[in-house]
Amino acid sequence: MERPRLSLIILALGFIISLALVVIFTIRGLHAVSRGPVGEPIRPWMSVPYIAHSYRVPPRVLFQALGLPGDRRDWRPIATIAREQNRPVQDVIQILYRTVLENNPAFIPPTPAIPRPSETAP
């Protein structure tokens, strides 16, 4: 019997890695769509009205939490709002998570790092 050549081993590795890609990203894709009641992560590109729509809270309360007049036509992304307010976008995201939690008890944050309001009480 012939010994397997290097090219054959490389081909087999390529095949296995390709299959692994299919399996890993299929699982990740299914995970992304089957999040259930858990909200999607707030990202810097999102605007306040979009976040309000996604998390089912009134836009007004989110604008107020950021110290902005509650104008539904303000479609600036939160990255721009953070820059204009001279603070890191992560701070703005944390404020929005907390405000959503206060106004929509059914909301489940996507990361365990965001404590519920009751958990922050001393």
Instruction: Categorise residue 3: left if φ over 0, alpha if ψ from -120 to 50, beta otherwise.
Output: beta
Residue 64 sits in the site that holds another protein (CB under 8 A): no
- Is the torsion defined by CA of 48, 54, 59, 64 positive or negative? negative
CB of 20 to another protein, least distance (A): 8
Residue 87 sits in the site that holds another protein (CB under 8 A): no
Residue 85 sits in the site that holds another protein (CB under 8 A): no
Whole-number Å distance between alpha carbons of 103 and 100: 5
Residues near another protein (CB under 8 A) are 1-2, 7-8, 11-12, 14-15, 17-22, 24-26, 28-29, 32-33, 35, 40-41, 43-47, 49-50, 53-54, 56, 75-77, 79-80
